[in-house]
Amino acid sequence: MGNFHILEQAEAVEYARGIEGLFPAGVQLSSREIGNGNLNRVFQITDSASGRGLILKQALPYIKVIGESVPLTLDRVRIESEALRIQRELCPDLTPKVYAYEPDLALIVMEDLSDHVPMRRGLMERGRYPSFGGQIGTFLARTLLFTSDLAMDLQEKKQRVKAFINPELCNITEDLVFDAPYKKSRMNIFEPPIRDAVERIWADTELHLEVALLRESFLTKAQALLHGDLHTDNIFIKPDSMKVIDPEFAYYGPMGFDIGTVIANLLLNYSGQEGWSKDAQERDDYRRYLLDSVRELWSQFELQFRALWNGHPVDRMAKTRGYQDLYVAKLLQDTIGFAGVKMVCRVHGFIHVADIERIEDAVAREQAQRIALKIGAALIKRNRSARSIEEVLQIALDAVS
Ligand SMILES: Nc1ncnc2c1ncn2[C@@H]1O[C@H](COP(=O)(O)OP(=O)(O)O)[C@@H](O)[C@H]1O
Ligand SMILES: CSC[C@H]1O[C@H](OP(=O)(O)O)[C@H](O)[C@@H]1O
């Protein structure tokens, strides 16, 4: 990365213009910076005449939301580009096209998905996406099964694990998801009215034991190549299409972490419904839709995961009678536990979610935060005994009754 420098907007445009086969010669290109994420710069570069465009994403050598005092490896762009390549091979319809990867400048150029919306925004506007369960179920089943020991040559899989060692990005998750929310820490940000609920989490040793076990799994279980940050801002959606972006947190970890992250974000929106409608009927209907989506996601995932396992060449031991059932049962438990920690950290941790944060009414916002903490903590505590996704739905219903 010797030639790295932060691109000026005009340089970004010239870089895009130079990519062979994308724009006609002499084309007039416009550009705007649209990056609203925590880590990177994102330019949308458009041919004003045809409306065709692309996205140029450049990593900064530090954490954007904190500043230059906290360096962050540019190697994350290699991880992101390689993960995108693998995900696209496995799920061509569910990932963006990548046009260029330039390691020296730590940038990736990819398909502009502006005809989709980030799913978080879609849900905040009460969008309904009936195909989502099937789409995300496919993404999860294919990316998780086909990158695991179940379906890969065991030696190749180990090489993959090595290529995806992602210590600095994993460290962010280890700190922000598994550590800070469970103790008094400068990394926690929350509003005074929920201090009592946060302090209960800090003092709950039964909860801490479950988090320690989930953290151990995150640290040691190299089960599959994870996306690593599968929240609803990283899912772009429209009625007939869904695409997953931003796998810079990819590493070999426990499958349930990715599935749990999606579920957590649906349930954070569920919690936030407290502030998005004055009409109780409308709020309940939308909550029901979100719970149906959680159920559908899990059942589609399970169906497709089992079908792929049964229908493709897999590891000899994977055919052992009874093994698949135990594997899927444990996967559900992991999913539930990780969904819980991903909810809790977004309420009083360092990074919050707009679904709750943007509620203007302070009382409703507080209520939404309390609901999210209640669901998150209950999921964490249930993780090792859960037997069915229905338990997740019941926990969510109990939290608002
Ligand atoms: N391929 C894309 N098409 C359209 N918008 C995109 C695309 N990639 C990123 N963006 C926009 O930039 C934002 C930040 O991108 P992201 O890859 O999530 O960066 P970060 O890692 O900093 O979060 C996204 O939320 C979205 O608004
Ligand atoms: C200090 S950044 C933490 C936060 O940033 C990542 O989000 P994104 O890259 O999608 O903006 C990730 O969720 C991390 O938890």
What are the DSSP calls for 109-124, one per residue? EEE--TTSEEHHHHHH
Q: 212: Cβ–Cβ under 8 A, 6 or more apart, which residues?
A: none
Using most ligand atoms within 8 A of CB, pick from 36, 38, 42, 265 the residue to mutate for ligand 1: 42
**Residue 387 to residues 140, 288, 298, 390: CA-CA distances in angstroms?**
20, 21, 13, 9
**CA-nearest residue, atom 10 of ligand 2:** 37
Domain architecture of the chain: domains with CATH: 9-111 (3.30.200.20), 117-400 (3.90.1200.10)
Question: What sign results for the dihedral spanned by CA atoms 253, 334, 379, 308?
Answer: positive
pLDDT truncated to tens, each residue of the chain (401 aa)? 568 999 999 999 999 999 998 999 889 999 999 998 899 999 999 998 888 899 999 999 999 999 999 999 999 999 999 999 999 999 999 999 999 999 999 999 999 999 999 999 999 999 999 999 999 999 999 999 999 999 999 999 999 999 999 999 999 999 999 999 999 999 999 999 999 999 999 999 999 999 999 999 999 999 999 999 999 999 999 999 999 999 999 999 999 999 999 999 999 999 999 998 889 999 999 999 999 999 999 999 999 999 999 999 888 999 999 999 999 999 999 999 999 999 999 999 999 999 999 999 999 999 999 999 999 999 999 999 999 999 999 999 999 99
- The Å distance, Cα 264 to ligand 2 centre, comes to 15
Beta strands at 251-253 and 224-226: parallel, antiparallel or unpaired: antiparallel
**CA-nearest residue, atom 13 of ligand 1:** 35
Q: Is 398 annotated as a binding residue?
A: no
Pocket of ligand 1 (CB under 6 A): 34-40, 42, 55, 57, 96, 110-114, 118, 233-234, 245-246, 248
Q: How far is CA 279 from the centre of its chain?
A: 30
Q: 196: Cβ–Cβ under 8 A, 6 or more apart, which residues?
A: none
Q: How far apart are CA 260 and CA 265, in angstroms?
A: 9
What's the pTM value of the predicted model, to 2 decimals?
A: 0.98
